[in-house]
Homo-oligomer: A and B are copies of this chain.
Amino acid sequence: MIRVVVHPAPIAIDAELARVEAAPGAGAIATFTGLVRADDGVGTLELEHYPGATEAALTRLAEAATARWSLGAATIVHRVGPMAPGERIVFVATAAPHRAAALEACTFLIDRLKTDAPFWKRETRDGESRWVEARDTDDAAAARWRDGA
């Protein structure tokens, strides 16, 4: 059960979790939520994406995780547009019979999302607006899932 949502509305975790928990064979649910940090001078964050290609990339990731870890459910919800500190940017949830599969698949999805899905962050910090630079650590985190690692 794959669910991919890219949307400007706030992310309602409740409803998303209920769907994932209802997946057949769900004994273990892992989630990851990314927030706009409230404490390091960021005023607002704006997320741009590549309509169509983004949803396709996220769906491919969810399909890969579902096949590799035999997931009962994989959900990726990514917010786009402007958002405020403390708000949720991204929510990933996985359901599996046992915890190792759910937790590993959840880590895989957020690691790969960071490098494989076309999103770009622009943040306003101390009154100045700039595009966020990609981080080398994201490439490294994504790389460890390749080649069956």
Contact = CB atoms under 8 A, between A and B. Distances in A.
A39 B97 CA distance: 10
Nearest to A86: B21
A99 B26 CA distance: 24
A141 to B, nearest CB: 7
Interface stretch (A2-10, A51-59, A103-111, A117-125): A103-111
What range describes how many residues of A lie at the interface? 20 to 34
A135 to B, nearest CB: 10
Contacts of A30: 30-33, 106
B21 A39 contact: no
A21 B37 contact: no
Protomer copies? 2
B32 A99 contact: yes
Contacts of A106: 30, 103
A17 interface: yes
A29 B110 CA distance: 12
A133 to B, nearest CB: 15
A64 interface: no
A28 interface: yes
A27 interface: yes
Q: Which 5 A-B pairs give the minimum distances between C-beta atoms?
A: A29-B33, A27-B37, A31-B31, A103-B107, A30-B32
